[in-house]
């Protein structure tokens, strides 16, 4: 389960100060839960279905960012294993550099996420915190409109791909 948390919400490697940011990216965004489930399924080699919860990303004019995951529930199914509902909650904080209208670099060295699931009758909780060690950096390209933000990461799963503006 830790691999699922790290794979889908794996922003960050080292501390970084805020950088230049595309003005279009400034605001609060909500990730598409179905897209997060799709990425999880690809990473696991199984299926995943978004059930509930939210993932939001706030980016300020200096490139500071905060990712909040609020009871994101995804049902996963891998071959020969019963379906498992995974719940993820927590946050990550850092900075993004994205001011050229095309490429981005995101680092979130501060994070505290917890994944929980009932696996074959046993309740498991997997904390993933800054003390657990670094995750890695998310880099790639982005596109932004007034209402939507999309990331195409160099490494699939290092940042959710599809976002809608909340404010």
pLDDT(118) > 90 = no
Does residue 72 lie within any of the structural domains?
A: yes
Q: To the nearest whole percent, how much of the chain has pLDDT over 90?
A: 70
Does residue 166 lie within any of the structural domains?
A: no
27: left (phi over 0), alpha (psi -120 to 50) or beta: left
Neighbour-count burial of 91, counting CB atoms closer than 10 A to its CB (0-12 exposed, 13-18 middle, 19+ buried): middle
Q: Domain of residue 114: give its range.
A: 2-161
Does residue 64 lie within any of the structural domains?
A: yes
**Confidence label for 8 from pLDDT (cuts 50, 70 and 90):** low
Element (H, E) at 39: helix 33-44
Q: What is the pLDDT of residues 27-54, one digit of tens each?
A: 999 999 999 999 999 988 999 999 999 9
Give me the mean pLDDT over the 77-98 stretch: 93
pLDDT(62) > 50 = yes
Contact status, residue 44 vs residue 4, Cβ threshold 8 Å: yes
Does residue 85 lie within any of the structural domains?
A: yes
pLDDT, position 121: 85
Record the pTM: 0.85
pLDDT, position 164: 98
What domain count does the chain have? Answer: 1
Q: What are phi and psi of 39, to 5 degrees?
A: -65, -45
Does residue 167 lie within any of the structural domains?
A: no
């Amino acid at each position: 389960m830790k691999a699922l948390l790290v794979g889908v919400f794996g922003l960050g490697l080292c501390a970084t100060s805020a950088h230049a940011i595309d003005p279009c990216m400034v605001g609060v965004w909500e990730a598409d839960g179905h897209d997060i489930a799709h990425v999880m399924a690809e990473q696991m080699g199984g299926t995943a279905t978004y059930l509930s919860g939210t993932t939001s990303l706030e980016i300020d004019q200096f490139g500071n960012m905060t990712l909040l995951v609020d009871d994101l529930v995804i049902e996963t199914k891998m071959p020969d294993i019963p379906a498992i509902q995974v719940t993820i909650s927590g946050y990550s904080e850092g900075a993004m550099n994205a001011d050229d209208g095309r490429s981005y670099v995101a680092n979130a060295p501060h994070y505290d996420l917890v994944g929980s699931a009932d696996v074959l009758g046993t309740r498991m909780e997997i904390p993933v915190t800054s003390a657990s060690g670094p995750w890695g950096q998310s880099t790639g390209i982005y596109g932004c409109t007034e209402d939507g933000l999309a990331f195409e990461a160099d490494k699939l799963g290092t940042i959710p791909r599809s976002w809608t503006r909340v404010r």
